[in-house]
Amino acid sequence: MHLGRGSVVFITGGGSGIGLALARRFLARDCSVTICGRDTEKLEAAERDSDGLSAVRCDVTQNLDVLRMRDLLTSQYGRVDVLVNNAGIQRTFEFAEDPDALEKLEEEVRTNFLSQVRLIRAFLPLLIASDAPVIVNVTSVLAMLPKRSAPGYCASKAALHSFTRTLAWQLEGTGIAVLELLPPLVDTPMTRGKPYRVRPMRADLFAEAALRGIEKGRREIRPGKAWLFCLGARLFPGLLERFLRQS
């Protein structure tokens, strides 16, 4: 698809990290970009530092917030050309030892999977109103092989990975393209300062590679080393598992 002046883009979890990096790349292509998130301070800072960006507080786990967001975009634009489901959280815990393990896992599944599904459902009328609508679900390379320390995050991203594929099949013929964006380790506030064994990808380089994939309509977009991880997960799963069991 062609991204440029007149393209309407909505990004969840856009106040920082990957979401904000994507928003800025869309803005550089003269798109009309709206982001949402739960942290008002981050949203205000993003709006202040990114010329032309519109930021709205919205908790995607709350149905009323999602419906208000849909109505706002309906009144402003009447359509959405690109919906980027990026909102997500990651908790690290030992399932058998952490007394709050179930609550943390439920929060991750609700935020990383169920809220994305609910938002897509609510936004279908806005997407159908577009001439070339695109849904981009941001999952993770950890949807392919999980790491030991984040059972809820990996499981919820795997669920979104599977749902994205089946949704793409079900929406064939509607004109709505359903794409999956699988980030590698990216340098964001969520990852910064942690002892990773590999160097994170710069967020701006990740975002530029992601937009090229969106423009080309790739069903699975694997920027940076994500393609190598996904290949290894298929060809050498045992080797990667030994590494991820220590992560």
Q: What is the DSSP string of 165-225?
A: HHHHHHTTTTT-EEEEE---SB-STTTTTS--SSPPBPHHHHHHHHHHHHHHT-SEE-TTT
In three-state secondary structure terms, 37 is strand
User: What is the per-residue burial (b if ≥16 Cβ within 10 Å, else e) of 194-207?
Assistant: eeeeeebbebeebb
Question: Among 10, 153, 163, 206, which one carries the catalytic annotation?
Answer: 153
Domain boundaries, the chain: 8-244
User: What's the pLDDT tens digit per position in 97-151?
Assistant: 999 999 999 999 999 999 999 999 999 999 999 999 999 999 999 888 888 999 9
**For residue 197, what pLDDT is reported?**
61
Confidence of residue 170 (pLDDT cuts 50, 70, 90): very high
User: What's the pLDDT tens digit per position in 185-236?
Assistant: 898 776 655 555 678 899 999 999 999 999 999 999 999 888 777 777 777 6
Top-tier CATH class for 8-244: alpha beta
Q: Is 153 a catalytic residue?
A: yes
- Would you report the helix, strand and coil content of the chain in percent, each value rounded to 5? 50, 15, 40
User: What's the pLDDT tens digit per position in 61-110?
Assistant: 999 999 999 999 999 999 999 999 999 999 999 999 999 999 999 999 99
